[in-house]
Amino acid sequence: MVKALAGEDVEQEKGDDIRAAEKALYMAMIHEVRPLPAARRLLEELKQRGHTVVLASSAKEDEIEHYLDLLDARQIADAWTSSADVEQTKPNPDLVQTAIEKVGGGDGVMIGDSVWDVEAAKRAGMPTIAVRTGGFGHDELVEAGAACVFDSIDDLLDSVENTPLNG
């Protein structure tokens, strides 16, 4: 991320320091994080429909622990990932492949909100349902390869029958 935002020279000279500072600053504010509206309801709906639910996050382990508690998702999710599970995170497919491996393999469908989610899933050979909660536009997500795009989790829930989850 540092290289993408600030260039190779900054990555080489200050990349590790910037990442360390980001971690400390983020953890000081993590209590301000709130779940997206309908996030837990989506997890419950997926389980009710018989889907295996894996939260494929590239966040740090302690952040994942916080998010699982925030969503009260430990009893819903079948597994979850963190950046510690892989050498390279999204858009590389490693995290998605690891998520699938954690539940014994098979096919999957990614639900994500970034072009990196879409690209990682595509590289892992699975479709992505994109939700526009990550700051990316409809066209960006479609161009990255999303099978379908929804403006909100509620919109996804209203149309779940018309997604790759119903295939």
For the chain, the C-alpha Rg in angstroms (whole number) is 16
pLDDT of residue 1: 75
Residue 56's φ and ψ, nearest 5 degrees, are -100, 85
| Of 136, 126, 138, residue with least CA distance to 165 | 126
Residues 6+ apart with CB under 8 A from 36: 133, 153
Q: Tell me the residue type at 111.
A: I
**Per-position b or e across 68-89, b if 16+ CB within 10 A of its CB:** beebebeebbebbbbbebbeeb
The fold of the 36-166 domain, in CATH, is Rossmann fold (3.40.50)
36-85: pLDDT as tens digits: 989 999 999 999 999 999 999 989 999 999 999 999 999 999 999 999 99
- Selected residue with higher pLDDT from 167 and 15: 15
Other Cβ atoms within 10 Å of 16 Cβ, number: 11
Cβ(91)–Cβ(123) under 8 Å?
Answer: yes
- Give the pTM: 0.87
Please state whether 105 falls in left (phi above 0), alpha (psi between -120 and 50) or beta.
left
Domain ranges of the chain: 1-32, 36-166
Label residue 167 by pLDDT band (50, 70, 90).
low
